[in-house]
Each structure stands twice: as structure tokens, then as C-alpha cells.
Amino acid sequence: NSEVGEVTVEVRSLNNRFIDVYLKAPEILSDFEDEFKKYIAEKLGRGSVKVVITLSLKGESDVEHVHLNVPLMKKYYNELLEAKKELGIRGKVNLEHVLKIANYFELTVPNVDSSKFYEPVKSALEAAISELIDMRAKEGEHIAEQMKGYLDVVETRLSEIRKIYEVNREKIIEKFRNKILELISDLEIDESRIIQEAGILSKKIDITEECDRLVSHISQFRRFLESDTPVGKKMVFLIQEMNREVTTIGSKSEDARISHLVVEIKDALEKLREQAQNIL
């Protein structure tokens, strides 16, 4: 409320990488629309934003008077009746049919000094935008906490995978060694060479590098969560890289326990990706 009447500002915002401002305001505020849109864009920086401003003068029901153009409605109604007759169409012509054709409402603005509305509207707009910024911050904190939870799941499952792999690694080398010995039992080959070949074969299922890269990606993602700049696109790319490493880990392992853990990591990464898409 202000000395000149009541000001209402409604702000809605959808996620968008860029800033797109739609402002709907009474005709009496047309001189200030560009300034208001610039203010909104500078304050919010990104998002698809819709702002609706309504005014009511003291002693007036509204800043804009509404007039219904009944003669125009009658004209369209009669034309529809004639068309219905000519085309042999059954059914009745009703108000809904007429209203779909055109806008019959005409707005007239009373003779009021628009400058008197500038300060009250600007003040209400600033308050509404400030409230939206606070809501965005709270939502951002909530999303960040959820993302940290998903990263914790990835880290925990990866740690379990490494433990299983370390136990399996020596068994795998020994398995290769015994298999080679069995195949060449009648040949004279240095046993150290056999061990060397077994080690080479075991590297084909070595997941150490993939695990190390995944740990590095997780650390980078956590740094993104502390950033004050837009990082949604970077997050999505990093999640793709993390998925690539996890897929390789799964393909190299024949252990059912690791396979199950890989599925859990992929599930957490998918949830992480969905949240990152929300802040693109």
C-alpha cells in the first residue's frame, strides 16, 4: 500500500541458462518498463522470469478501466450464425465460440500522473526480487546438500570396490600364473618370465587408474559446489567423465560384488546429473 493506492508485484522464475524477462504492467507504467526490465535482469542474471504488476488507485477500482465491446461481439456472433447456416453445421453458437475469435475488452487509462507511481512500484519490485533471490539461495543450498549426499555415495562405493579389487588382484595374478604353467607344463620356460607375463595380463583388468581419476573428478565436483559462478554445464560434463570411468571399472571386473557397486554408483550419478540439469 502507498499514498496513491495499492501496488502488487508477482514474480515467477523458471530455470534458464540465460536471462529472459517478461514484464506485464498497466499502460500507465509504460514509461518505466525498460528501466524495470533492466533492473530485473541485472539483479537475477539468469532464468526465465515473469513479472506481473497490478495497481489500484485510491478511490478507483483499478488503474485501468475495462470496457466490453458488445457491438463487436454481436457482429461476430451474427457472422458465425450465417457461416453455420451456409455450411450446414449442426449445433448452437455460444459465447465460448465468440470469445475465441477476438479480444473484446478495451482498456482505458484515467488521467493520472504516472510519475506518482514510480517510487511505490520500484519499492515493491525491489522487495519482490529480493525475496526471489533469497528463495533461490535457499533452493541452491538444498540442491548442494543433495549433491554432496550423492557424491558421498559414490565415494563410499568406490572405496568398497578398491578394497575388493586389492584382495582379488593377487588372486588374479596367481590364477594367470597357474593357468600358464598348466598350458606349458611340457616346455622349459623360466618361471620369472611366467610371472612377468601374468602381471602383463593382470593389467588388462587393473582399475587403479580409473579409480584414481574418479576420485579426482569427485574432488573437482566438490569445488564446483563451492563456486559462486554458474557451473551447471561443467558439472554435467564432469558427470559424463565419471560415468565413463565407472563403466570401464565395471567392464574390467568379473566380481559380482563390484558389478553391484558399479550399479549403485551409476544410480547416484544419474541423480547427480538430474540436479545439475536443474541449474544449467
Note the pLDDT tens digit of each residue in 99-129: 888 877 766 656 667 788 899 999 999 999 9
Banded model confidence at residue 8, pLDDT cuts 50, 70, 90: very high
- Which pLDDT score is estimated for 69? 84
Per-residue pLDDT tens digits for 197-238: 656 666 677 899 999 999 999 999 999 999 888 788 899 999
Element (H, E) at 117: helix 115-183
Neighbouring C-beta atoms of residue 8, cutoff 10 Å: 12
Cα 213 to Cα 241: distance, rounded to the nearest angstrom: 9
User: Which is nearest to 112 in space by CA: 206, 27, 18?
Assistant: 27
Banded model confidence at residue 89, pLDDT cuts 50, 70, 90: confident
- Which pLDDT score is estimated for 186? 61
**Domain range annotation of the chain:** 5-65+115-135, 67-99
Q: Are 105 and 73 in contact (CB under 8 A)?
A: no
Residue 62 has pLDDT above 60, yes or no: no
Q: Are 257 and 164 in contact (CB under 8 A)?
A: yes
- Which pLDDT score is estimated for 148? 96
How much is the average pLDDT of 40-57?
91
Q: Which three cell numbers stand for residue 267?
A: 544410480
Cell 620369472 found at: 192
CA dist list (Å): 252 to 114, 171, 203, 206, 212: 72, 15, 10, 7, 15
Q: Are 126 and 44 in contact (CB under 8 A)?
A: no
Banded model confidence at residue 277, pLDDT cuts 50, 70, 90: confident
How much is the average pLDDT of 140-150?
94
- Which pLDDT score is estimated for 10? 96
- Which pLDDT score is estimated for 123? 94
Q: Are 49 and 21 in contact (CB under 8 A)?
A: yes
DSSP category for residue 184: T
